[in-house]
Amino acid sequence: MPNRAEILKQQFLQSLGFPWQSILSESRLAEILEEENIRDRNSVYTPVNTLWAMISQALDPDKSLSNAVKQMITWLSAAGAAGPSVDTGGYSKARQRLPEPLLQRLVPETAESLEEQVPSPQQWCGRRVRVCDGTTVLMSDSAANPAAYPQHGNQTAGCGFPIAKLVVMFSLLTGAVVAAAIAPWATSEIVMSRLLYEQLEPGDVVLADQAYGSYVDLALVQQQGADGVFRKHQARRTDFRRSRKQGIGDHQVVWQKPKKRPEHMSPPEFAQMPETLPVREVCLRLARRGFRDQRIIVVTTLLNGNRYTAQHLTQLYG
């Protein structure tokens, strides 16, 4: 996967002109700019040109402003248009004029555009799959960042970098980010993910690791008309000899609503959750060449064992 990402980066950077206009057309981008009330200043650094230059700058190993300006000169010259001067001041000011909400809107727009280009038979059981996962990143050591994103408590003050936590929901089919959240590193990944569930659409399937395999997460996903497939938390016991059996290592159980309300949920939100939740527990055997076979248990709200067989779930989670 890292090699594929590098190949895509190189293809992007070597493209003359605007490399991703096939993903998000200039006409659609113009509509979004109009809706966000972003006006063209009739300069070389139009919002569209600036946006494409910013993406190129983020992907390029040389992330300097001067290199981004050189890239823009190359693109515009290949298109037969006049390029900007080599001075970076104009580009720097143009970047600052782009509002953050514009970039936030473009994330799901590009993800949806990519999915529309993939044949629907490639979807898993005819369903869109969304994957949730989190990580941490080091922030720039600016004057403002430490206040919003404190460094780790084990670090001596002034000797480390601010740390931010990212949680991303992305498309399993294309790998494109659908929604993302950012917060200080001490913020719970699960709390951040539960905010992203609001981006789900009816019929979606959410895939995640055992940190998500709880009653609350399954219930919240189901409230959006979607279904969850999570690895079962190791603290929960499993006995396939009981409850409604659907096959070997496959049965339905009823989970009870927890008595304690999560701190991040308000009383009305917690009250809306059902008192019980039918859940299917399935034992999967994951096989990878060069590794020992691994058995895991997943919990899911996909209760139809004929339509969503253990083999289908193994393919999905594996």
pLDDT confidence of residue 308: 94
Least confident interval from 15-24, 104-113, 214-223, 253-262: 15-24
Q: Which of 71, 104, 137 is the last residue of a domain?
A: 104
Residue 42: is its pLDDT beyond 80? no
Count the neighbouring beta carbons within 10 Å of the beta carbon of residue 172.
14
What percent of the chain shows pLDDT beyond 70? 92
Q: How far apart are CA 205 and CA 167, in angstroms?
A: 17
pLDDT tens digits, one per residue of 249-271:
999 999 999 999 998 899 999 99
In a domain, 282, yes or no: yes
pLDDT band at 2 (very low <50, low <70, confident <90, very high): low
Confidence bin at 15 (pLDDT 50/70/90): low
Two structure tokens written together for 299: 């919990």
**Do 217 and 85 share a structural domain?**
no
Same domain, residue pair 79 and 200: no
Question: So what's the pLDDT on residue 56?
Answer: 81
Strand bridging mode 244-247 / 250-256: antiparallel
Same domain, 262 and 131: yes
pLDDT band at 282 (very low <50, low <70, confident <90, very high): very high
- Write down the pTM of the prediction: 0.81
Does the residue 247 lie in any domain?
yes
User: Residue 110: inside a domain, yes or no?
Assistant: no
pLDDT of residue 255: 94
Q: Are residues 290 and 211 in the same domain?
A: yes
Give me the number of domains the chain comprises. 2
**What's the pLDDT score for residue 4?**
64
pLDDT at 1 over 60: no
Residue 22 has pLDDT above 80, yes or no: no
Digit-coded pLDDT (tens) for 79-91: 777 778 888 888 8
pLDDT of residue 246: 84
C-alpha–C-alpha distance, residues 294 and 305, integer Å? 22
Mean pLDDT to the nearest integer, 95-123: 86
Burial class (CB in 10 A: 0-12, 13-18, 19+), 81: exposed
Is 237 in the same domain as 288?
yes
Domain boundary, last residue among 104, 127, 151? 104
What digits encode the pLDDT tens for the residues 159-209? 778 999 999 999 998 899 999 999 999 899 999 999 999 999 999 999 999
Tell me if 109 is assigned to some domain. Answer: no
**Statement to judge: residues 255 and 135 lie in one domain:** yes
Which band of pLDDT confidence, cut at 50, 70 and 90, is reported for residue 150?
A: confident
Whether 111 maps to a domain, the answer reads no
Whether residues 196 and 303 share a domain: the answer is yes
Q: Report the alpha-carbon distance of residue 163 to residue 165 in Å, rounded.
A: 7
158 pLDDT more than 80: no
Domain that holds residue 164: 118-317
Q: Is the pLDDT of residue 121 over 50?
A: yes
Q: Are both 39 and 162 inside the same structural domain? A: no
Question: Which strands sit side by side in the sheet containing 163-171, from one edge to the other?
Answer: 177-184, 163-171, 129-138, 205-208, 227-231, 294-300, 276-286, 250-256, 244-247
Burial 186-197 (b: 16+ CB within 10 A, else e): ebbbbebbbebb
135 and 250 in a single domain? The answer is: yes
Q: How many H helices and E strands in the chain?
A: 11, 9
On whether residue 112 sits in a domain, the answer given is no
Residues 81 and 42 in one domain: yes
The Cα–Cα gap between 169 and 133 comes to: 7
Q: Give a yes or no: residue 83 inside a domain.
A: yes
pLDDT of residue 73: 82
Q: How confident is the model at residue 5 (pLDDT cuts 50, 70, 90)?
A: low
- Asked if 26 and 164 sit in the same domain, the reply is no
Compute the distance between CA of residue 45 and CA of residue 4 in angstroms, rounded to an integer. Answer: 31
Does the pLDDT of residue 7 top 70, yes or no? no
Between 236 and 304, the higher pLDDT residue? 304
Non-local (6+) Cβ contacts of 100 within 8 A are none
Domain stops at, among 104, 126, 146? 104
- Evaluate whether residue 168 is within a structural domain: yes
pLDDT at residue 16, rounded to an integer = 46
Do 84 and 165 fall within a single domain? Answer: no
Confidence (pLDDT) at 17? 47
What average pLDDT does range 19-47 have in this prediction?
77
